[in-house]
């Protein structure tokens, strides 16, 4: 076989790093304990560097991911044999490691155990003592294999901030000897809720990205869906709320291809070609939504996925059951009374010919002046509603403010188009 070009090998290794490093870190952390996380990351990095060196001069193995796991496993065994004090490892393996047998390590590299280790790692990254922003950064780094630069890019901040968050999180886990345990009882419920929050944030950051040149960050959305799928396939995470969250992600992701045109311009829901919606994903969303109905508690994820399902069920935007949508938003407000939910409910009111009421309710949101001055979406929606009412002055003022606040080029194009439409109405 012809020797592979180094560039193609590097591309392959980069791809594998994204999809395999999280698995490797999770398994090795289960073996060595969270307090050795820095060492574990070094072992994983070593494995990928060795892959570049070896595969450049030799044939790429038939199973590259398996090769990497084998290298990491062998390196783990090597480190164990060199160590004298086994208490440095995770509590779970303190006794077994003394046997110094390869079989002890091998059992943690089965597909089932890898998934279990990843779930345990998610629970550790979402420890209640960590700040939410640290949980997100640590999950992206250790479970998802994102680099610091990528995380900073995804979360709209700089690398120094991400490094600080990661250091803070890792130091806490190390100092407090946090174990890769799966919580039980009410502790499991609390931790699951934190995992849901992190996955929800990851998906939304990808789906509604405010990055300058990217409206949809599919990599973040895909990763959130992958991690949520791991939850649904594990006995611990197989909960109604988990199914509801995955249903929401599937239904939202089904509209990826219709939200942006070839010129990277946003296509609003009412103008989207519904024939381009991914019917397979929509069906998966319905299936997961049905599974979520097994419980007795209705969560915010049940309600949000039901709202997404209403959009998918409607043959057209005009034929959407807006009365049912309003009912769902009323139920959602009882559990999640946030400014964004109130804003989205107001948009539903406009479809029921209650635009004046919608504007009034938006203006009554707590701290609305600050939100209008700092978050473009509030000014953008108000601008559209004022435009519908024929209030050209307030429409122009709000749209100009939204234009100044957004960093997204696609959003700027959309808002500029509305301002141009407003200008044309003034001329007529």
| Each residue's pLDDT tens digit, 196-214 | 988 998 888 788 765 555 6
Length of the chain: 428
Which whole-number Å values give the CA distances from 145 to 23, 41, 42, 62, 284, in the listed order?
9, 10, 13, 23, 26
Task: Using a pLDDT cut of 90, give the percent of the chain over it.
Answer: 42
What percent of the chain is modeled with pLDDT above 70?
Answer: 89
What average pLDDT does this structure show over 85-89?
51
pLDDT of 234 strictly over 60: yes
Name the CATH topology of 337-428.
1.25.40
Q: What is the C-alpha to C-alpha distance for residues 171 and 160, in angstroms, rounded to an integer?
A: 16
Rounded to the nearest angstrom, the gap between the alpha carbon of residue 182 and the centroid of all alpha carbons in its chain is 21
> Quick check: 100 pLDDT over 50?
no
Which has more confidence, 89 or 162? 162
Pairwise CA distance, residues 411 & 394, whole Å: 19
Judge whether residue 357 has pLDDT over 90.
Answer: yes
What is the residue-averaged pLDDT of the chain?
A: 86
Using the structure block, give the residue that is written with the tokens 């110094």.
100
Q: Where residue 1 falls among pLDDT bands split at 50, 70, 90?
A: very low
Q: Supply the pLDDT for residue 295.
A: 81
Listed in order, the ranges of the chain carrying CATH 1.25.40.10 are 337-428
CA distances from 276 to 61, 247, 254, 410 (A): 38, 19, 9, 20
pLDDT range class, residue 338, cuts 50, 70, 90:
very high
DSSP 328-381: HHHHHHHH---HHHHHHHHHHHHHTT-HHHHHHHHHTSTTHHHHHHH-HHHHHH
């Amino acid at each position: 076989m012809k020797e592979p070009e180094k560039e193609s090998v590097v591309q392959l290794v980069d791809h594998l790093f994204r999809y395999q490093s999280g698995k490797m870190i999770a398994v090795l952390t289960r073996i060595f304990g969270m307090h050795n996380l820095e060492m574990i990351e070094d072992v994983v990095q070593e494995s990928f560097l060795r892959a570049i060196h070896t595969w450049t001069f030799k044939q790429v193995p038939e199973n590259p991911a398996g090769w990497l796991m084998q290298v990491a496993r062998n390196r783990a065994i090597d480190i164990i044999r060199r160590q004298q004090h086994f208490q440095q490892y995770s509590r779970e393996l303190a006794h077994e490691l003394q046997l110094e047998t390869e079989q002890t390590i091998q059992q943690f590299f089965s597909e089932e155990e890898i998934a279990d280790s990843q779930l345990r790692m998610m629970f550790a990254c979402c420890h209640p003592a960590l700040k939410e922003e640290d949980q997100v950064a640590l999950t992206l780094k250790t479970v998802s294999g994102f680099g610091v630069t990528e995380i900073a890019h995804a979360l709209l901040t700089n690398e120094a901030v991400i490094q600080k968050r990661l250091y803070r999180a890792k130091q806490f886990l190390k100092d407090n000897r946090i174990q890769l345990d799966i919580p039980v009882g009410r502790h499991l419920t609390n931790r699951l809720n934190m995992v849901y929050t992190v996955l929800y944030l990851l998906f939304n950051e990808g789906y509604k990205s405010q990055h300058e040149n990217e409206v949809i960050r599919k990599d973040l959305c895909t990763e959130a869906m992958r991690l949520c799928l791991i939850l649904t396939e594990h006995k611990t995470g197989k909960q109604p709320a988990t199914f509801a969250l995955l249903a929401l992600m599937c239904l939202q992701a089904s509209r990826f291809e219709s939200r942006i045109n070839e010129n990277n311009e946003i296509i609003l829901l009412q103008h989207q070609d519904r024939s381009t919606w991914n019917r397979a994903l929509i069906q998966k969303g319905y299936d997961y939504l049905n599974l979520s109905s097994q419980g007795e508690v209705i969560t915010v994820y049940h309600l949000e996925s039901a709202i997404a399902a209403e959009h998918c069920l409607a043959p057209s935007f005009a034929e959407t059951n807006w009365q049912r949508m309003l009912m769902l938003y009323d139920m959602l407000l009882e559990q999640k009374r946030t400014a964004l939910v109130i804003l989205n409910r107001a948009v539903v009111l406009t479809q029921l010919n209650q635009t004046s009421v919608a504007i009034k309710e938006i203006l009554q949101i707590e701290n609305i002046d600050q939100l209008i001055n700092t978050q473009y979406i509030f000014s953008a929606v108000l601008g559209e509603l004022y435009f519908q009412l024929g209030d050209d002055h307030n429409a122009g003022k709000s749209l100009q403010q939204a234009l100044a606040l957004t960093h997204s080029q696609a959003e700027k194009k959309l808002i500029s188009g509305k301002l141009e439409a407003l200008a044309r109405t003034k001329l007529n």
